Structure 1
Amino acid sequence: METSANASQVHVSNDQAVPLRARGLSKSYGWKTVLRDVSLELGPGSVLGLIGRNGAGKSTLIRALLGLIEVDAGEASVFGEPAFALSEAVKAQIGYVPQQPDALAWMRVDQMFDFVGRFYPRWDKGYVRSMLERWWLPRNQVLAKLSPGERQRVELIRAIASQPQLLVLDEPAAALDPVARRDLLRELALRDADNEGAVLFSTHIVSDLERVATHIAFLHEGRLLLHVPIDDLKERYARLILPASLASQGPFAGEIHRRRLNDGGVSLVIERGADCDWPATARESGARLDLLGLEDLFVEIAG
């Protein structure tokens, strides 16, 4: 399998206005490379959906972006400050929910909210109260004794109640029931509509991305294959099937992914060029070009 990164980025001149920025992040654990030269940028007011299969490196990338792990190469910044040396003022602007929350597990739900709320000047007690009631969460239960779904809902309330300028969610819908998942997506959509800070959330649920994301970042085997506004996906990517007689052609400009077929042919994922043309090979006898939506694009590359 051959891949080539193609990341389209939005550049903002004032570093302090950029919620998240990464340049050339690489990370390995022993012999396994988890991140490979990843660069991306999350602009103010954006909702970036980070998509990829389990094991693609999404959680590692999120932790690297927030300075929670040390990388082998590259650098990350949050609101212009190095991720590994964030000031307390910047930390207070971040709401983060890991995939498996376990902090303060010995506290009761109400104790945790009372304790954490003291560190955030914009803490929204009314939001905490209303969401605990809406999601039927027990205030007097110890966090460690909650179910995975209950624990994740509590953490989401905690992160959003701080009214952060940067909200980072790692697989936020993984343990949520349909009602809680719908509420979360509504909250993310409202934040986008009101331009209340930036959001980064990872997922492998394509429908969630299409409902709330303004931008898509596609991580595959540690590489960032694309990073584009979601509105740019329409008729931009296609699958090009080439028979064995044409399989040796390429690589083409805009080629993102290539895999061999059992009959000797190849299946390519390609991006339409700046001139809006597909490769001339697509018009040769035996070639077939199929436009790809987001879900088909995900399946074609990660499937």
Structure 2
Amino acid sequence: MNALTLPATQHDLDLERPLAARGLHLGYGRREVLRGVDLDIPQGEVLGLIGRNGAGKSSLIGCLLGLLRPQAGQALVFGGPALRMDDARKARLGYVPQQPQAFGWMKVGQLFQYLGQLYPGWDPAHATALLRRWEIDPGRTIGRLSPGEAQRLALARALAPRPALLVLDEPASALDPVARRELLRELVGQAMDTGTTVLFSSHIVSDLERVASRVAFLHQGRLLLDRALDEVKDETVRLPLPAAAAARLPAALPGELARRTLPGGAVSLVVAGRAGWQELLLVEGVRTDRLGLEDLFVEVAG
């Protein structure tokens, strides 16, 4: 495996690879949260990070952004080490945590005026449009916003500087379906218009299907799947095998994501990709069931 390399100088931003990681390991006591995670997100991609609640999505994002220190491995933001992120990189990054926090005593408009002085790319017109579209009164005190309003405010804060990299950790959890759809439309529009790279974490599969160009499936601390969404839809299948065929299975097949024993010794396999399993179709009684993203989620993480 190739090691990550640093740029020649700290301020040379690698805009073609906004986010990357190799061999991330993170644990708390005996509990392993991340077990050797590798990830590369090229410019302009919208990556949907999927996994059950508690699968380690927030921990992975924390390591990728330098908010958590892994026991092993390294993450890079725009080519520089995430644990020593400089102001040039922070200025190009928009981040919305799972539970956004802000200055509760400030008014929304005051906060945006303050942030406009910190971010060189802050777009006042865009910020005003976002507040208007999401019905957030600039005169409201932040501490008096509802959870949904606070989450919309956090999203507007992240989008207003038109970041080159946008990282969202379960950003729609407090939003109603209409607000979620408006958010997703905004993400797609910004990614297409400005080439923004987006990492979007969610357990709401339908949200990811609307916006993601690629899907990474985190399960038990490992990335089981990291592929283009179209490939996942076209090449992920479930194979119910009768007992006679199941008894001759190797320990693991190429692309195998899940294996479940059925009554009578039969087995249900979930595989991704086109190689390594087609010969099973020659066995009498074997068929393929195409899996959508939600079905895949249930099969693997259920």
Same fold, judged at TM 0.5 (above): yes
Task: Map Cα deviations across residues 217-251 of structure 1 (whole Å, 9 max, x no partner).
Answer: 11112110111111222431111122333333122
The one-letter amino acid of 2:274's match is: G
Matches within 5 A, 1:259-278: 259-274=260-275, 278=277
Judged with a 3 Å threshold, the aligned counterparts in structure 2 of structure 1 residues 79 and 265 are, in CA distance, closer, same or farther, namely: same
Matches within 5 A, 1:34-113: 34-113=33-112
Contact 2:23 2:38 in 1 (8 A): yes
Contact 2:107 2:141 in 1 (8 A): yes
Residues in 2 aligned to 1:156 and 1:244: alpha-carbon distance in whole angstroms = 51
Deviation at 1:273, TM superposition (A): 3.3
Residues in 1 aligned to 2:134 and 2:86: alpha-carbon distance in whole angstroms = 34
Contact 1:38 1:223 in 2 (8 A): yes
Q: List gaps (5 residues or longer) in structure 2.
A: 1-6
1:254 aligns with 2:258: no
Judged with a 3 Å threshold, the aligned counterparts in structure 2 of structure 1 residues 143 and 19 are, in CA distance, closer, same or farther, namely: same
Contact 2:254 2:277 in 1 (8 A): no
Judged with a 3 Å threshold, the aligned counterparts in structure 2 of structure 1 residues 195 and 163 are, in CA distance, closer, same or farther, namely: closer
Task: Return the structure number with greater relative CO, CA threshold 8 A, min gap 6.
Answer: 1
Residues in 1 aligned to 2:25 and 2:297: alpha-carbon distance in whole angstroms = 23
Judged with a 3 Å threshold, the aligned counterparts in structure 2 of structure 1 residues 292 and 65 are, in CA distance, closer, same or farther, namely: same
Contact 2:102 2:142 in 1 (8 A): no
| Number of the residue aligned with 1:197 | 196
Residues in 2 aligned to 1:135 and 1:69: alpha-carbon distance in whole angstroms = 32
| Number of the residue aligned with 1:25 | 24
Judged with a 3 Å threshold, the aligned counterparts in structure 2 of structure 1 residues 140 and 191 are, in CA distance, closer, same or farther, namely: closer
Greater Cα offset, 248-257 or 112-121 = 248-257
- Helix, strand or coil at the partner of 1:194: helix
Residues in 2 aligned to 1:32 and 1:15: alpha-carbon distance in whole angstroms = 35
Matches within 5 A, 1:1-303: 16=14, 17-248=16-247, 249-250=249-250, 251-274=252-275, 278-303=277-302
Task: Map Cα deviations across residues 166-214 of structure 1 (whole Å, 9 max, x no partner).
Answer: 0011111111123321221111111232242201111122222222111
| Number of the residue aligned with 2:4 | none
Residues in 2 aligned to 1:31 and 1:279: alpha-carbon distance in whole angstroms = 40
Greater Cα offset, 198-207 or 254-263 = 254-263
The one-letter amino acid of 1:62's match is: I
Judged with a 3 Å threshold, the aligned counterparts in structure 2 of structure 1 residues 15 and 123 are, in CA distance, closer, same or farther, namely: closer
Paired residues in the alignment total 289
Judged with a 3 Å threshold, the aligned counterparts in structure 2 of structure 1 residues 281 and 23 are, in CA distance, closer, same or farther, namely: same
The one-letter amino acid of 2:96's match is: V
Greater Cα offset, 43-52 or 225-234 = 225-234
Task: Map Cα deviations across residues 111-168 of structure 1 (whole Å, 9 max, x no partner).
Answer: 2111122111111111222222222223233322211101000000000001100001
The one-letter amino acid of 1:252's match is: L
Residues in 1 aligned to 2:105 and 2:71: alpha-carbon distance in whole angstroms = 34
The one-letter amino acid of 2:166's match is: L
Contact 1:47 1:213 in 2 (8 A): yes
Contact 2:224 2:257 in 1 (8 A): yes
TM-score by length of 1: 0.89
Judged with a 3 Å threshold, the aligned counterparts in structure 2 of structure 1 residues 15 and 122 are, in CA distance, closer, same or farther, namely: closer
Residues in 2 aligned to 1:264 and 1:203: alpha-carbon distance in whole angstroms = 35
Task: Map Cα deviations across residues 238-275 of structure 1 (whole Å, 9 max, x no partner).
Answer: 1112233333312212212212224432221112335x
The one-letter amino acid of 2:271's match is: I
Residues in 2 aligned to 1:236 and 1:160: alpha-carbon distance in whole angstroms = 34
Contact 2:127 2:157 in 1 (8 A): yes
Residues in 2 aligned to 1:139 and 1:195: alpha-carbon distance in whole angstroms = 26
- Helix, strand or coil at the partner of 1:228: strand
Residues in 2 aligned to 1:108 and 1:262: alpha-carbon distance in whole angstroms = 61
- Helix, strand or coil at the partner of 1:22: strand
Q: Which runs of 4+ in 1 moved over 6 A?
A: none
Task: Map Cα deviations across residues 4-62 of structure 1 (whole Å, 9 max, x no partner).
Answer: xxxxxxxxx99823100011111111222111111011100111111111111111111
Residues in 1 aligned to 2:225 and 2:80: alpha-carbon distance in whole angstroms = 25
